[in-house]
Amino acid sequence: MREYIYKETEIELIRHLRNNTPEKIWHNFVFYVFDYGNYHLILECESKEAKSQNKSDEALIAELTCKNEKYVPNEHSKLVYENKPIDKIYIVRTFLHFSDFRNFTKPEKIANQIGYKIKTLIKGKSDPLEEIISKTTGVGAEYICHPKSQELENVDLEHSNLLDVGLLIEIENKYLRAFLQSNGFGFHIWEDKYFFETEDLKEDMELYEFIKTEK
């Protein structure tokens, strides 16, 4: 099994976020920014090589880093909130595995090429791994499940991945889903809805483990 889980340096940044209210939170599809004025934390979608029976499979994770510079929003940045204290933060962890290889149809191959070009445009840079993946001829079906699910009893651990895919942030009894879903690229937001009620997380609880971050 391959693990892409948060290192101690990232956990320390999560604790910093928990204990120090950012001035603003921004969303920009491929990342969230926690803005402290003169510096910011950025939670960014990154593609990694997955442990799989298929060489082309990828694992999407969310990496947290600190930038010692002022964040300058661009035309794609959307303000999520300002100056509200964070009540709780949970690390979001999931288990990713794959089925055996199948060949892509022609429309799927075209979609992969287009998807790669869109990623490059949004991120402003080319990723060699993503370029290779965009040119592959097939892939295995991918599945995610809760890391403590009974489903794991029937999974080949040799071809599996344990992933930290972002954060669940509680603010004023509502939840910001700052995590990647279904091993998909980017932090998807529909109709500018960023915050959810507890009952909205029922499906998520079946697929993700929410690990509370202590102060």
From residue 47, give the alpha-carbon distance in Å to each of 44, 191, 205: 10, 26, 24
Q: At 166, list the tokens.
A: 């972002």
Q: Quickly count: other Cβ atoms within 10 Å of residue 160's Cβ.
A: 20
Q: What is the mean pLDDT of residues 170-188?
A: 94
Residue 96, helix vs strand vs coil: strand
d(CA 139, CA 102): 6
Considering the domain boundaries, does residue 129 fall inside one? no
User: Is 115 a residue whose pLDDT tops 70?
Assistant: no
Of the pLDDT bands very low, low, confident and very high (cuts 50, 70, 90), residue 204 is: very high
Of the candidate ranges 56-60, 85-89, 125-129, 203-207, the one whose mean pLDDT is the lowest:
125-129
Q: What is the mean pLDDT of residues 74-92?
A: 95
**Residues 194 and 187: beta-carbon distance below 8 Å:** no
Q: Residue 150: give the domain boundaries.
A: 2-102+140-212
Helices (H), ranges, the chain? 8-19, 106-123, 128-134, 202-207
The count of domains in the chain is 1
Considering the domain boundaries, does residue 94 fall inside one? yes
Considering the domain boundaries, does residue 121 fall inside one? no
User: Is 7 a residue whose pLDDT tops 90?
Assistant: yes
User: Is 28 a residue whose pLDDT tops 60?
Assistant: yes
pLDDT digits (tens, 9 = 90+) for 51-77: 988 777 899 999 999 999 999 999 999
Considering the domain boundaries, does residue 17 fall inside one? yes
**Residues 33 and 41: beta-carbon distance below 8 Å:** yes
Of the pLDDT bands very low, low, confident and very high (cuts 50, 70, 90), residue 120 is: low
Considering the domain boundaries, does residue 119 fall inside one? no
Considering the domain boundaries, does residue 86 fall inside one? yes
Looking at residue 156, what is its pLDDT?
A: 82
Q: At 135, list the tokens.
A: 């040119």
Residue 129, helix vs strand vs coil: helix
Considering the domain boundaries, does residue 76 fall inside one? yes
Looking at residue 114, what is its pLDDT?
A: 64
From residue 50, give the alpha-carbon distance in Å to each of 23, 27, 139, 140, 160: 36, 26, 12, 11, 8
Q: Nearest 5°: phi and psi at 98?
A: -135, 160
**Residues 156 and 140: beta-carbon distance below 8 Å:** no
In the numeric block, the tokens 């995610």 are attached to: 144
Looking at residue 133, what is its pLDDT?
A: 52
Looking at residue 55, what is its pLDDT?
A: 76
How does the average pLDDT of the chain come out, rounded? Answer: 87
Considering the domain boundaries, does residue 28 fall inside one? yes
Looking at residue 152, what is its pLDDT?
A: 86
d(CA 116, CA 118): 5
Of the pLDDT bands very low, low, confident and very high (cuts 50, 70, 90), residue 102 is: low
Closest CA to 95 of 55, 144, 46: 144
